Structures are given as structure tokens and as C-alpha cells.
Amino acid sequence: GAVVSQHPSWVICKSGTSVKIECRSLDFQATTMFWYRQFPKQSLMLMATSNEGSKATYEQGVEKDKFLINHASLTLSTLTVTSAHPEDSSFYICSARTGGIYSNQPQHFGDGTRLSIL
């Protein structure tokens, strides 16, 4: 149980393109989803917390207009990297959590998306 699917797993696109990444909880309802970014050989850095039906909460230093998050249903959150540039190239990984907004249940992670901007 607690399977999280992330799509696509790999994206290569030109600079200036907008890229959408989907995160789905397949066998549970996720009121809260999280988006992380991971540079090579580094730890996961939280970008934003996404609660279903409300605006995402972004971490300090993360541009809201650059990284658009939509959590329209209890099983789907999307991250759109707008006008992507080479410095946006990274590994993006989402997680989802059972229970409500204040749940202390473990986060279950998707397989990640490797984004390469040329």
C-alpha cells in the first residue's frame, strides 16, 4: 500500500519551455503532498507543501511564480516549472501522506523526475 506515482520520470527540453510534473497517490487519499528538489549527491530540499484545495506553502527562497503547484484533488498534485532554464535542471521528487493536514504519518515518495534543460 501507499504507492505514489510520479510522471514523467525523465524530461529533456529546451530553455524557455514550461514543464509539468504529476504526482499521484494510487491507493490512498493524500490531503497533503510535498515537493522536493535534489541536486546530485545532495540531500532533499523541501520546496513546498501542497494541501488539497488550498494554495501551496512555499519554503523560503523558492519562487512561487517559477514553480507553480496545483493540488486539485486528493490523489493528484502537479508541479509546473515555468520558463525553465539550465539552472532548473535537477531531480524533483514528490511525496504524499495519508491522514489530514495535521497528520503525522510517514511520507511516501514517488520515483522522482529528472529534469534536464538544454
Cis peptide before 40 (omega within 30 of 0): no
Q: Does 78 interact with other proteins (rule: CB under 8 A)?
A: no
Binding of residue 12 to other proteins (CB under 8 A): no
CB of 49 to other proteins, least distance (A): 6
Considering only residues 43, 53, 65, 87, which one is a binding residue for other proteins as defined by CB under 8 A? 43
Say if residue 40 is exposed, middle or buried (CB neighbours under 10 Å; 0-12, 13-18, 19+): exposed
* Residue 96 three-state SS: strand
* Binding track over 85-104 against other proteins, x by CB under 8 A: ------x-x-x-x---xxxx
Q: How far apart are CA 88 and CA 102, in angstroms?
A: 31
Burial class (CB in 10 A: 0-12, 13-18, 19+), 39: exposed
Scanning 11-19, 21-29, 81-89, 108-116 for contacts with other proteins by CB under 8 A, the matching segment is 108-116
Query: Where does this chain bind other proteins (CB under 8 A)?
Result: 32, 34, 41-44, 46, 49, 57, 91, 93, 95, 97, 101-104, 106-112, 114
